[in-house]
Amino acid sequence: MMYQTDCFKIVQDDREVLPYIIQVYRSTPHAGTGMTPAKLMLDREIATKLPVVLELEKGIFPEERCKRYQEKLRDYADKKRRAQHHDLVVGDVVFVATLTQGKLTQCVSVSCAWSKMDTKF
């Protein structure tokens, strides 16, 4: 593969450009933790050519920040999928859609369970 690392230089060997790619990755703050991978692994920032200014919330650990980020992503996904919380108990009558894919089209068959079903959980 050919990579263009500078405005004038084209690199044809992956081994030449790989250390630079790893350095950029390790010095870029992650959205979930708010910290760079180098800071999390080495407990220090690595030297780069560009200055990086990180504004971190005081007193918040990366685990807590990651948990907040995951909750934010989960809420967004639930909102996009219009997911709803259901209070189902054992013995409720539910409709079960069985998706079977044919050769050309996708067929949906809906069945109703009128009797109590045994559950393993």
Per-residue tens of pLDDT for the chain, all 121 residues: 555 555 446 666 777 778 888 888 888 888 777 788 888 888 888 877 766 665 656 667 778 888 888 999 999 999 999 998 888 888 888 777 666 665 555 555 555 555 555 555 4
CA 14, chain centre distance (Å): 27
- Tell me the one-letter amino acid at 59: G
d(CA 66, CA 30): 10
DSSP string, the chain: --EE-SSS-EE--HHHHHHHHHHHHHTSPPTTTSS-HHHHHHSSPPP-SS-----PPTT--HHHHHHHHHHHHHHHHHHHHT-------TT---EEEEEEE-SSSEEEEEEE--SPPP---
Strand partners, 110: 97
